[in-house]
Amino acid sequence: MSDTESRDSREVEQSDTEDGYEPRDIFGTTTEMDLRSGADNCTKVGTCDAECPVAEVDDDFPGPQFQGPEQWRLSSKGDVEIDDSVTKCSNCLRCDSGCPSGVPFSEMHNTARAKYVLEDQPLSIKKIRNRILANYRTSAWLASKLPRTANFFMNNGIVRWLMEKTMKIPSEREFPEFATQTFREWWAERGGEATSKERAQEARAQRGDAPVHSDEKRVAYFHGCYSNYNTTQVAKSMVRAYESLGYEITVPKQKCSGTPMFANGRVDDARRHAKVNVEHLGDAIEDGYDVICTCSSCSLALRQEYPDLFDLDGIDELAAHTYDALEYLRIHEDLEAELEGATVDAPDVAYHAPCHSRNQGLGRQAVELFADVDGVAVTDVGDSCSGISGTYGWKAEKYETSMAIGEEMFEHMEAVDAETGMTECPTCAMQMEHGTGYEIMHPIEVLETALT
Amino acid sequence: MTATSPDVLVIGGGSTGVGIARDAAMRGFDVTLVEKGNLTHGTTGRMHGLLHSGGRYAVSDQASARECIEENMILRDIAAHCVEDTGGLFVKRPEDSAEYYQRKLEGLVECSIPATELTAQEARAREPFLARDIDKAIEVPDAAIDPFRLCVANAKSAQDHGARIETFSEVTDLLVEDGEIVGAEITHESGAGKRVHGTEGTVEEIHVDHVVNAAGAWTGEIAAMADIDVEVRPSKGVMTIMNVRQVDTVINRCQPKGDADIVVPHETTAILGTTDEEVGDPADYPEEQWEVDLMIEELAKLVPILEDARTIRSFWGVRPLYEPPETGTDDPTDITREFFLLDHDERDAFPGMTTIVGGKLTTYRLMAEQLVDHLAGKFGLDSTSRTAEEPLPGSEDESVLDEAMDDFGLRSPVAKRSAERLGSRTADVLDTDEPNPVVCGCEAVTRAEVADAIEQSGTDLNAVRIRTRAGMGNCQGGFCSHRLANELHPEFDEGQARAALDELYQERWKGQRHALWGKQLSQAMITYAMHALTMNRDRDPATSEDAPDFGAFDAGPASTPGAAEDGESADGATGVVTDGSGGDRRGD
């Protein structure tokens, strides 16, 4: 548990600095915090600009150095003027992880975007569309009521033509298919927590390496919207993989992680959802559970964006107890030993590490994990950004940029000797599929095959 | 100007000098102003940027306090584009005297300075970074003022009224005829007119009807040229500039007197001040690190976040304090802040010159008015000053800033900062058909604004800096000094641009030397790496008389024999080998 310990000690340090480096809500609303002192870290070397995939393909985008430290330093109290170019930022956060001197880019961009969208941006079709995209959970919930009908209409040519004309949703994109049964429905039908406990205990008994009754191996799953409504196979694989290692799973009540909302400046919506998540996941943490996610943007939101942006009871606890699903197993299990000699029946894959995984330091975990597993060759396609960045590539005016950014990844995928892709992020997967036509897997699916 | 206009020579291009030049020119004098450096070269360019409400003097020096509040209100009108209405707080900590706090409150009322008491909670709601343990605070109408912009605007107004302004023009002697001062010998560093590097210096004798000595800390030296004794008691004070504003209100510590008791939000930065220590020579005194440390340590008691915040530079200024010879005050902090007008005819039976000394920036206009009143009396000219009503160039139309203004194709924070600096001149300067990129990213200064400044000040990039703030941000010119120099070309040649660049770079380095820890140290190292190593500016062969030793270079890759032997051939053949084989090119 060394990782958890170090997180805890960091927390203690933070609370020591009472007099203050935490951003202050001095501009009067929760969306405007005094981030000027964050500009103290900037030495203007421009690593952020060099890392930025949008700046690389769009000469009109001023880049993160301007968007972040320069713009905040130039702002004055009560009169923060956010340039409209902030809407061109895709929130990939490569500037955040690339900065050599710790400029709080993520916080700066999210706050600036929220300020711009909530206070300055004039009402328009695009603004409405952005809010609809940001609240994907609501659309997905609706679609899940009649999934087959939704699947038919959402990819119907006429409907899509209309959507492009009225809502500026690019007709080139294929809408993700809605599962006929959501993950939560499946989970409930399967018997929920009680069944999971049974199966975990069975596995533990079989393995003989841990007490059958244990409070240690318990995880709360934050599935997010996508593996609940769309790629339910990812969630199911996670359940089976974890149970086979003896973990009891709970699936608390939850809402959207907020990722698409942050990216569209809707911190107001994100905060509402965060409140529910922090409350229910917090209860699980109190009962001794750790939180795991299979979506890299969800884990990033819970770990980094939540404490950056919101001041909710238990939000730091949640951040400290949240893990990516693979990461968690790599910390607590000897996965290499588990996989030794395993042979899996999976296609070779071209693996793309999502920007939001990189930001959590997880960019190489899938490649490392499967390096010695027979039956699957995982080839890293390099550090390019897929370009879709969640809802970004779903906007007609951003589509070209999104595809231009993705070009490098597509080329590298095609150069790899594999006809299938792999990634942790559901929208990266969408883009990979869109650009190459490959089927895209999640590493947890491969892990499940290897373990069971 | 009519033939009968009396000629006046004003010595000193600080706030007092330019204020006098403006007032006198407006009243019909034929004015020449000479300054040995650029405008604000002396004390004016080395102050903390506080436009006093008078609160500071409300207990100890009520005459000064009343002058301050009156002038404060006038400058908000006539110099709107130089003043930011930050407001000010006098903050009382638990260990500070309650009795003094009470006297301060009473003094403010006596001097008609608007004052409101705030509880600690109210003060912290306004300024969240104030220390948690403060007692209470008094709110006063302090403000922030940009001394550079103020002086430049005064000088420009003087010029518009016919005055001649000469910078880098030092008085090397006073001309005396029959016991009367009749003018001065001026040494122009690069000839008369705008400063242009590489232009040979000239010496000029200027004969006038009257000389005004407004040389600030150098007043005594000027007077001594005519064997007149004016004993200025220069007192140094340190100021430390923080990279960002921790507070948006002027924060004063409510104490009788003391070092390190004020934080002034200034443009993008915050300035910490100051100390008060008498020095012998206003141009040569020690700048010591402990003074900087003291600023941060003491002021962190008011604003704790300062302890770990980034400092970008420190600078020292010298107050030109004066008191009549018989006063004999020991402690410089006790010397009056009032100003004195010395008519040397009356004082020393030496006609032809008047000296003005002491005072402070807040009252510069009043000092100028009184001095020009004195001159007008002497020469029988219009005795009414109009400087209290007539706005300075840039402040004619305040609505410019309030209206939803044209952004001239600039990103919104850039447009906003530019308009704040340029005031009513904004459209004149920014409305251009040429590409207008940002030259200084830290301070959001565009090429058009730089070009406007160059037009005013020739090759002097420090003069461009004080007009635009280019080079005053966190990289301290590291990323923009060469871009600024580039803007001199093609009007000026490469050698002039290079000399101007070196001068600006050195000036920026001077203040940064006192901030070399933490992030500013990293910044300085990056700047060094870029300028010395990448741009080869530490040993650039172009700056040497000798031809470079090309033989010292190696012959290049052996696989390109043509290039190896003929490396510097001018025939256009390059050593680049193209690989037509399409070999192993991998994307990763």
CATH code, B308 = 3.30.9.10
What is the pLDDT averaged over residues B120-147?
Answer: 96
- The string of pLDDT tens digits covering residues B355-396 is 999 989 999 999 999 999 999 999 988 779 999 999 999 998
Would an 8 Å CB–CB cutoff place A149 in contact with chain B?
A: no
Q: What is the per-residue pLDDT for A208?
A: 79
- The alpha helices in A135-247, defined as continuous H runs, are 136-145, 147-154, 157-167, 183-189, 192-207, 226-229, 232-244
**Over the stretch B424-446, which tens digit does the pLDDT of each residue have?**
999 999 999 999 999 999 999 99
pLDDT in the model for residue B563: 46
pLDDT at residue B324 in the model: 86
Look-up: residue for tokens 């390496």? A209
Q: State the residue range of the domain holding B157.
A: 7-42+148-231+341-379
Any B CB within 8 A of A43 CB: yes
pLDDT mean over A94-105: 95
CA distance A132 to B80: 45
Question: For residue A382, what pLDDT band results from cuts at 50, 70 and 90?
Answer: very high
Q: What is the pLDDT of residues A100-155, one digit of tens each?
A: 999 999 999 999 999 899 988 889 999 999 999 999 999 999 899 989 888 888 88
Tokens encoding B585 = 């090119």
Mark which of B379, B408, B428 sits at the end of a domain: B379
Q: What percent of chain A has pLDDT over 70?
A: 92
Is residue B25 assigned to a domain?
A: yes
Angle formed by the axes of helices A105-115 and A267-286, nearest 10°: 130
* Minimum Cα–Cα distance from B479: chain A residue: A44
Residue A417 CA from chain centroid, whole number: 28
Q: What angle do CA B118, B120, B125 make, to 5 degrees?
A: 85
Report whether pLDDT(A344) > 60.
Answer: yes
Residues of A in contact with B526 (CB under 8 A): 43-45
pLDDT surpassing 70 at residue B525: yes
> What is the spatial distance between Cα B428 and Cα B479, in angstroms, rounded to a whole number?
27
What is the predicted pLDDT for the residue at B561? 52
Alpha carbon distance A214, A292 (integer Å): 18
Mean pLDDT of A379-406: 94
What distance in Å separates the CA atoms of residue A65 and residue A34, rounded to the nearest whole number? 17
Residue A44 half-sphere exposure toward CB, CA atoms < 13 A: 22
Q: Is the pLDDT of residue A177 over 50?
A: yes
* Residue A314 backbone class (left: φ over 0; alpha: ψ -120 to 50; beta: rest): left
Asked if B112 and B66 touch (Cβ cutoff 8 Å), the reply is yes
pLDDT at A388 over 60: yes
- Is B568 inside any structural domain? no
Q: In what order do the strands lie in the sheet with A218-222?
A: A248-250, A218-222, A290-293, A322-324
Q: From CA B400, how far away is CA B417, in angstroms rounded?
A: 13
For residues A226 and B527, give the distance between their C-alpha atoms in angstroms, rounded to a whole number: 47
**Is residue B581 predicted with pLDDT exceeding 60?**
no
Q: Could you say which DSSP state residue A410 is in?
A: H
Question: Shortest CB distance from A39 goes to which of B243, B478, B526?
Answer: B243
Question: Scanning every residue of chain A, which has its alpha carbon at the shortest distance from the alpha carbon of B131?
Answer: A19
Mapped onto helix, strand or coil, the DSSP state of residue A381 is coil
Residues B375, B8 contacting (CB under 8 angstroms)? yes
Q: With contacts defined as CB-CB under 8 Å, which chain B residues touch A19?
A: 131-132, 304-305
The candidate with the shortest Cα–Cα distance to B170, out of B43, B29, B47, B33, is B33
Cα A199 from chain centre: 29
Mean pLDDT along residues A211-221: 84
Q: Which residues of A touch B586 (CB under 8 A)?
A: 415
> Which pLDDT does position B552 carry in this prediction?
85
Q: Are residues B227 and B237 in the same domain?
A: no
Of B349, B379, B409, which marks where a domain is finished? Answer: B379
Q: Cβ separation of B128 and A82 shorter than 8 Å?
A: no
pLDDT at A5 over 60: no
8 A C-beta contact, residue A230 and residue A176: yes
Judge if B238 and B131 occupy the same domain. yes
Q: Is the pLDDT of residue A4 over 90?
A: no
Q: How far is B399 from B397, CA to CA, in rounded Å?
A: 6
pLDDT at position A440 is 97
Task: Check CB contact under 8 Å for B413 and A37.
Answer: no
B509-519 exposure pattern, b = at least 16 Cβ within 10 A, e = fewer:
bebbebbeeeb
Do both B243 and B368 map to the same domain? no
Contact B198/A at CB under 8 A: no
The reply to whether B244 touches chain A by the CB within 8 Å rule is yes
Q: Are residues B365 and B482 in the same domain?
A: no
Q: Is residue B327 in a domain?
A: no
Q: Judge whether A156 is closer than 8 Å to chain B, CB to CB.
A: no
> What is the length of chain A?
452
User: Residues A301-319: what's their mean pLDDT?
Assistant: 94
Distance CA B134, CA B357 (A): 38
Half-sphere exposure of B325 (CA within 13 A, CB side): 7
Are B279 and B428 contained in the same domain? Answer: no
- Looking at the fold, whether B434 and B499 belong to one and the same domain comes out as yes
The predicted model gives B536-548 an average pLDDT of 82
pLDDT in tens, B181-235: 999 999 999 888 888 998 899 999 999 999 999 999 999 999 999 999 999 999 9
Instruction: State pTM to two decimals.
Output: 0.88
* Helix (H/G/I), strand (E/B), else coil: B261: coil
Q: Are residues B35 and B165 in the same domain?
A: yes
Q: Is B456 a residue whose pLDDT tops 50? A: yes
For residues B205 and B95, state if they share a domain: no
Residues B102 and B222 occupy one common structural domain: no
Three-class secondary structure assignment of B473-542 = CCCCCCCCHHHHHHCCCCCCCHHHHHHHHHHHHHHHHHHHHHHCCHHHHHHHHHHHHHHHHHCCCCCCHH
Q: Is residue B286 a part of any domain in this protein?
A: yes
As for how many domains chain B has, the answer is 3
Q: Cα A358 to the chain's mean position, in Å? A: 11
Give Cα separations from A314 to A282, A293, A302, B89 (angstroms): 6, 18, 11, 37
Amino acid at A130: N
Contact B243 A75 (CB under 8 A): no
> Chain-wide mean pLDDT for chain B?
90
**Cα distance between residue B412 and residue A82, in whole Å:** 7
Average pLDDT over residues A409-438: 96
Query: Could you give the domains of chain A?
Result: 19-120 (1.10.1060.10), 125-167 (no CATH), 183-332 (no CATH), 342-451 (3.40.50)
Query: pLDDT tier at A207 (50, 70, 90 boundaries)?
Result: confident
The distance of B517 to chain A (nearest Cα, Å) reads 13
Calculate mean pLDDT across residues B296-309.
96
Q: Which of B519, B541, B563 is the last residue of a domain?
A: B541
Residue B214 domain flag: yes
Average pLDDT over residues A1-20: 38
List residues bridging with B353 in a β-sheet.
Answer: B211
Interior angle at CA A70, CA A66 and CA A75, nearest 5: 120
pLDDT on residue B560: 55
Cβ of A42 and B473 within 8 Å? no
Q: Which of A363, A359, A352 is nearest to A412 (CA)?
A: A352
Q: Which helix (DSSP H) or strand (DSSP E) does residue A36 occupy? A: none
Taking only the tens place, the pLDDT of each residue in A251-287 is: 999 999 999 999 999 999 999 999 999 999 999 999 9
- Residue A45: predicted pLDDT: 94
Q: Around Cβ B407, how many Cβ atoms within 10 Å?
A: 16
A chain contacts of residue B523, beta-carbon cutoff 8 Å: 43-44
Same domain, B495 and B518: yes
pLDDT at B336 over 60: yes
Which regions of A79-133 does DSSP assign to beta strands (E)?
A: none
Give the pLDDT confidence score for residue B198 in this predicted structure. Answer: 86
**CATH of residue B371:** 3.50.50.60
Domain identity same for B510 and B465: yes
Residue B112 has pLDDT above 60, yes or no: yes
Residue B495 is assigned to a structural domain of this protein: yes
Provide φ and ψ at A248, rounded to 5°: -90, 135
Return all residues near B278 (Cβ < 8 A) that are at least 6 apart: B233, B234, B235, B236, B332
Residue of chain A whose Cα is closest to the Cα of B311: A40
- Residue B580 predicted with pLDDT over 50: no
Inform me whether the pLDDT recorded for B162 exceeds 60: yes
User: What is the rounded CA–CA span in Å between residue B554 and residue B546?
Assistant: 20
- Taking the Cβ of residue A21 and every Cβ of chain B, the question of whether any pair is shorter than 8 Å is answered with yes
- Render pLDDT for A11-55 as a digit per residue (tens, 0 to 9): 333 333 344 344 444 444 444 468 899 999 999 999 999 999 999
Alpha helices by DSSP H, listed for A208-363, are 226-229, 232-244, 259-263, 267-286, 296-300, 306-309, 315-320, 325-332, 335-339, 355-359
Residue B48 within any structural domain of the chain: no
Asked whether residue B323 is assigned to any structural domain, the reply reads no
- Is the same domain home to B440 and B487? yes
